[in-house]
Structure 1
């Protein structure tokens, strides 16, 4: 049996990557895996089975078929046990199932050859994986799949949870909190579940935050220029003393996969003329809001590509496009736009020269992809970290955010208002210019001597030096 204390002398470092459920978690881990492999590392990618969504399963198959040099390590989750938490969110249920099954990885990881140098874990399983890694005598790192700004709130949660005024005003009101080094943050931007002691989301965060003081480093899909204030606050120990070093190694690079999801229709459109609408892999708007969005698109008279989602999990999504938006809408707009269902390669679409604007829920992958590709955003956050991510978009200045639109479906946004904002997005030269400046800063971060590339290469070199000692 292979030992796990160190890899063979002189061998490339061997890293295991372990994401949780959902495309928002999977994508940055796949990108990091491809980047590490292209820089000479041996990479093992851990996948829990079964996945929640068909999109995850399909994407994993495509990824490994085009990256055969990356080893896939599948492990079967234990049968689901009824949770003590009242949640019907299939992704939270999967988080808990993965956490309950992590111990099954011990014999699988201990037999790997070459032996592991380190494991990079997702935050929702960081605590369990840290214990596993300690038993195997290997280092643990964490890859954070949200913004540095929201992550600052995450690590500040233990102090925040003790503030009754904050908890009483979760999700609304004019109350602000002061995060060290970050200034005031509206309590209305904090997900209410995060401050609910009986909610799985809050308990999971509180448990796993403690492990962040033991890991060797915290990798983030962001870059110094983009979130300088939050990164500095985290690394200065202002937000959380004794936190592991923050390593902004983004924007993580795209990778090639086998797919047939290209859109020749886009090739026929004028440069920067199409508005792209997508609310990510987990967010489904209400039927009423979908109809108002359709009205807004039609009234804006902008050319559009709309990725429509009507249920949280794609396996449950049985309705056709015409059943949701109506055949009459599709008929009236057939020369102006396309409505599709199912997961698409969003980064590929955003990279197309025809795309001139992005109506987004502000999931972090969406924000960082738009930043890397220079596409201005109309921010319409829905839940979780998305309001705080929208603050980043607004602060950097490459997007619009209409705070009055609310979130979590609390308001029905009128189609006329949507039309006005889409028109503003698509006609704003200031936003377009700023988005191109952001794109250039992102490119510079990924250059050989760029801030993010230096950190990533330095991390790889540190593994190599340990193997040689």
Structure 2
């Protein structure tokens, strides 16, 4: 007989108010009963540069508030397990150990980035390439930009979080075996870091797909386009471009001759968007591309767009959540990393056959602008690349198979191989806090 269904109650810790509207929208879509408000200790922002990334400042505030976790757990628990994001691992893992609760790290980037995070130390020279177990070679030009600044507080966060990984009961990674097979084997065999806890591929982690009520006019526009003909352009919820680069991108999309759906951002935090499309692209642009191009400056249901039959190419910054949505939809990617982990992720995209990465295209902090002709050439070539289309279709099938696997089966396989290190994560009637 089939095993009884697992009954796992999940609570989600959240700090509010959120920084971005995208975060706020997500939290408001969840049942209030599962949300726990996490208080933040005061953060003296005067100790940080005025230009500091507001998202990194929030991570620092969370890291410095780990001591407030035990009172929250005692008043809302008991809980059988705790899952924390990698960005706060170094302070929350010791606190979880002090109250005897198994703690797992959720790593929402690629397995390649996990390997890099686990080996990069305070003594690592940020100007030297890193070769990881002979499997992944990451050039210094692909390191997150703050790692090149020895005094940047992100470097401290990054190094401390990487060192803390060995304290976790397990590491859950948003990837799947067919996409990064060699790296996952190396991580679990001890080739990357000795005594690393089990690394469990749990991806692709995808939003629950519902019948869309968002932008009926935009969906009607997509419905009118030929199959796999549309270029979807989006650089994430927190990536912005200069005005000059936006102009060149707009010209390149117009020059490509392909239908396109462009979600534009000019500010890092979406609540700050004030400019109009015509201000950024020039008067007459929207009229010239009318019918062939759709340009928006608002939140969109990206997973719905990527899953639409008309979308064939995704021009993306290579944020890992976006890549998981792209591979699940079988959409090929033109990778244009803009910062953070995105060049490491772009290398995974190119190596797996999910897409192509023009490695010389500049990212945040580098001088130069990618010209319209270059953008148009890459897009028009990729949209008709049938061979890559076949590869992405195969990866989509592998992603679907990975999603269907029962998490308990994956956990049991790791337990059998590596010892009973993750006991408690998926037992019946367990209560998990994230």
1:95 has 2:52 as partner: no
1:446 has 2:403 as partner: yes
1:397 to 353, 368, 388: 353
For residues 23-60 of structure 1, the C-alpha deviation after alignment (integer angstroms, 9 at most, x for no partner) is xxxxxxxxxxxxxxx95310000001121111111221
For residues 353-410 of structure 1, the C-alpha deviation after alignment (integer angstroms, 9 at most, x for no partner) is 1101100000111111111110000000111110110000100012111112122253
1:236 aligned partner: 189
For residues 334-362 of structure 1, the C-alpha deviation after alignment (integer angstroms, 9 at most, x for no partner) is 11010001221111110011101100000
2:13 aligned partner: 46
The answer (yes or no) to whether the contact 1:251–1:442 under 8 Å persists in 2 is yes
For residues 200-224 of structure 1, the C-alpha deviation after alignment (integer angstroms, 9 at most, x for no partner) is 1110011222221111000000011
1:313 has 2:269 as partner: yes
Give me the whole-angstrom Cα distance separating, in 2, the residues matched to 1:192 and 1:340: 29
1:337 has 2:298 as partner: no
For residues 242-287 of structure 1, the C-alpha deviation after alignment (integer angstroms, 9 at most, x for no partner) is 1111011111132156963242211121111111000001110110
User: What RMSD in Å do the two structures reach over aligned CA positions?
Assistant: 2.3
Question: Helix, strand or coil for the counterpart of 2:197?
Answer: coil
For residues 106-131 of structure 1, the C-alpha deviation after alignment (integer angstroms, 9 at most, x for no partner) is 22211224x10011001111122223
Question: Helix, strand or coil for the counterpart of 1:377?
Answer: strand
* 1:401–1:448 Cα change, 3 Å: closer
Q: For residue 414 of structure 1, report the CA deviation from its aligned partner.
A: 0.6
1:455 to 399, 410, 424: 410
Aligned positions, number:
414
Give me the whole-angstrom Cα distance separating, in 1, the residues matched to 2:66 and 2:298: 30
Give me the whole-angstrom Cα distance separating, in 1, the residues matched to 2:29 and 2:111: 30
Q: For residue 328 of structure 1, report the CA deviation from its aligned partner.
A: 1.0
Q: Give matches, 1:257-336, under 5 Å.
A: 260-262=213-215, 263-336=219-292
1:418 to 369, 375, 378: 375
1:78 aligned partner: 41
The answer (yes or no) to whether the contact 1:224–1:231 under 8 Å persists in 2 is yes
Question: Helix, strand or coil for the counterpart of 1:63?
Answer: coil
The answer (yes or no) to whether the contact 1:63–1:257 under 8 Å persists in 2 is no
* 1:272–1:242 Cα change, 3 Å: same
1:60 aligned partner: 27
1:367 has 2:330 as partner: no
Give me the whole-angstrom Cα distance separating, in 2, the residues matched to 1:259 and 1:271: 19
* 1:199–1:284 Cα change, 3 Å: same
Question: Helix, strand or coil for the counterpart of 1:98?
Answer: helix
Give me the whole-angstrom Cα distance separating, in 1, the residues matched to 2:342 and 2:131: 19
- In terms of mean alpha carbon deviation, does 310-319 or 79-88 score higher? 79-88
Q: For residue 236 of structure 1, report the CA deviation from its aligned partner.
A: 1.6
Give me the whole-angstrom Cα distance separating, in 1, the residues matched to 2:22 and 2:136: 38
1:156 has 2:107 as partner: no
**TM norm structure 2:** 0.90
Give me the whole-angstrom Cα distance separating, in 1, the residues matched to 2:425 and 2:38: 29
Q: Which has the higher contact order (CA 8 A, sep 6+)?
A: 2
Question: Helix, strand or coil for the counterpart of 2:239?
Answer: coil
1:117 to 70, 77, 80: 80
* 1:430–1:364 Cα change, 3 Å: same
Give me the whole-angstrom Cα distance separating, in 1, the residues matched to 2:308 and 2:284: 29
Give me the whole-angstrom Cα distance separating, in 2, the residues matched to 1:107 and 1:412: 51
For residues 111-157 of structure 1, the C-alpha deviation after alignment (integer angstroms, 9 at most, x for no partner) is 224x1001100111112222332233211001001111011111111
Give me the whole-angstrom Cα distance separating, in 2, the residues matched to 1:462 and 1:213: 17
- In terms of mean alpha carbon deviation, does 148-157 or 203-212 score higher? 203-212
The answer (yes or no) to whether the contact 2:314–2:333 under 8 Å persists in 1 is yes
Give me the whole-angstrom Cα distance separating, in 2, the residues matched to 1:201 and 1:43: 30
Give me the whole-angstrom Cα distance separating, in 2, the residues matched to 1:279 and 1:254: 18
Give me the whole-angstrom Cα distance separating, in 1, the residues matched to 2:399 and 2:167: 30
Give me the whole-angstrom Cα distance separating, in 1, the residues matched to 2:6 and 2:225: 37
The answer (yes or no) to whether the contact 2:334–2:355 under 8 Å persists in 1 is yes
Question: Helix, strand or coil for the counterpart of 2:375?
Answer: helix
Give me the whole-angstrom Cα distance separating, in 1, the residues matched to 2:228 and 2:303: 15
For residues 424-458 of structure 1, the C-alpha deviation after alignment (integer angstroms, 9 at most, x for no partner) is 11111111111101101111212246xx6732587
Q: Give 5+ residue unaligned stretches, structure 2.
A: 414-421
1:24 aligned partner: none
1:129 aligned partner: 92
The answer (yes or no) to whether the contact 1:50–1:77 under 8 Å persists in 2 is no
Q: For residue 195 of structure 1, report the CA deviation from its aligned partner.
A: 4.0
1:144 has 2:101 as partner: no
Give me the whole-angstrom Cα distance separating, in 1, the residues matched to 2:383 and 2:6: 39
Give me the whole-angstrom Cα distance separating, in 2, the residues matched to 1:191 and 1:439: 28
* 1:275–1:453 Cα change, 3 Å: farther
2:335 aligned partner: 379
